[in-house]
Amino acid sequence: MSMYKGAKILVAGGMGFVGINLLQRLLSLGANVRATIHKRSPIVNNEHVEYMQTDLTKPEDCRNAVEGMDYVFMCAANTSGASVMEKTPLVHLTPNLIMNALMLEASHEANVKKFLFISSNTVYPVTDQPAKENDVTNEFYEKYFIVAWMKRFSEIMCEMYATKIKKPMTTIIVRPANIYGPHDDFDWETSHVLPALIRRVVERHDPIMVWGDGLDIKDFIYIDDLVDGLLQAMEKINGHDFLNIASGKQYVLKDLLNLMISIDGYDGAVINFDASKPTMIPKRLIDTRKAKEILGFESKISIAEGLRMTINWYKSFTTGNL
């Protein structure tokens, strides 16, 4: 990945889950990184990182952020888990559309070489088969209707900048599997399912409460594998393309919870499933063949090892030993 050595790279959303991990990897590759921050304080201190306090819903802040950059990773997003989406379904709509539109506009005006947008597998319909990149029908799982349309329209905006104007900009769309790993969001109100369950296991909840019946089937990818895919996609794709970055494996949520319990040695754990609580897509499998063909990408970290590393990181984080 020699492309990154000395390159000027913007990580928009540099204090988010993906942003922090991506930033750390870029530094190891010798890149000069600018990272936007909004409310949280930086945790990675390095002379090759320039932190910029921004509000990416403001055009001037977006222009300042992308000025002089070669490549932009659009990791900034307003995200949350099932609980917040159930209570306030519009929370992701306006701020994310504004950020994505303004960042594309600013990047194009600044002659950025490539713009990578992190989309979502919510843009796929519910299927029993692994979702392929061309399976988008604009028919979405009802509880994801709003966030899926936000992501889908943002994808279309990326396509516009790459294929519908006289001076095109390379835009790359990555649709990841469900991501987990260090620096994930473990807050009760906003976390996704795996960090919420990890926290319940580590804190020895008795019983461990699980929203739904635990039979959801999903594809999970460890953050380091996702970062590999993002870097490969930015390096190898020109023009415009979209692809899944996933493990290509299927996991039943109940099985993963039992694996967490075993990894952390929680003997005698009792699990209670609450079907009255909000859950999301009951089954989501993801086809990874395109990423393998175009990028040579394959996930490397097993679910057991990924969960072990995430649990250990969270325990170190909560005890202040990081």
pLDDT tens for each residue of 172-215: 999 999 999 999 999 988 888 999 999 999 999 999 999 899 99
Give the sign of the dihedral formed by CA 188, CA 43, CA 39, CA 228: negative
Is 316 contained in some domain? no
Side-chain half-sphere CA neighbours of 15 within 13 A: 15
The per-residue pLDDT for 89 is 72
The count of structural domains within the chain is: 1
Give the sign of the dihedral formed by CA 258, CA 273, CA 126, CA 245: negative
DSSP 8-class letter at 282: S
φ, ψ dihedrals at 140, nearest 5°: -115, 155
The per-residue pLDDT for 86 is 63
The per-residue pLDDT for 281 is 85
Helix axes 303-318, 253-263, angle to 10 degrees: 60
The per-residue pLDDT for 84 is 57
Is 213 contained in some domain? no
pLDDT tens for the 322 residues of the chain, in order: 789 999 999 999 999 999 999 999 999 999 999 999 988 778 888 888 999 999 999 999 999 999 999 999 999 997 655 555 566 678 779 999 999 999 999 999 999 999 999 999 999 999 999 999 999 999 999 888 999 999 999 999 999 999 999 999 999 999 999 999 999 999 988 888 999 999 999 999 999 999 899 999 999 999 999 999 999 999 999 999 999 999 999 999 999 999 999 999 999 999 999 988 777 788 999 999 999 999 999 999 999 999 999 999 999 988 765 5
- CB distance 212 to 169 below 8 Å: no
pTM of the model: 0.94
* CA-wise closest residue to 233 among 74, 110, 76: 74
The per-residue pLDDT for 85 is 59
Is 311 contained in some domain? no
Query: Where would I find the H helices in 110-221?
Result: 145-163, 193-202
Residue 33 sits in a domain of what CATH number?
3.40.50.720
* CA-wise closest residue to 19 among 95, 76, 66: 76
DSSP 8-class letter at 89: T
Alpha-carbon distance of 42 to 51, in angstroms, equals 8
Is 50 contained in some domain? yes
Is 153 contained in some domain? yes
Is 158 contained in some domain? yes
Name the burial class of residue 167, with classes exposed (0-12), middle (13-18) and buried (19+) by CB atoms within 10 angstroms of its CB.
exposed
Alpha-carbon distance of 244 to 34, in angstroms, equals 26
DSSP E strands, the chain: 8-12, 32-37, 49-53, 71-74, 114-118, 170-176, 178-180, 208-211, 217-218, 220-222, 240-245, 251-252, 271-274
Pairing of strands 49-53, 32-37: parallel
Is 197 contained in some domain? no
Residue 105, Ramachandran bin (φ over 0: left; ψ between -120 and 50: alpha; else beta): alpha
**146-167 pLDDT per residue, tens:** 999 999 999 999 999 999 999 9
Is 97 contained in some domain? yes
φ, ψ dihedrals at 9, nearest 5°: -125, 130
The per-residue pLDDT for 227 is 98
Per the structure, the complete domain to which residue 153 belongs is given by 2-179+219-248+284-300
Alpha-carbon distance of 122 to 135, in angstroms, equals 12
The per-residue pLDDT for 46 is 87
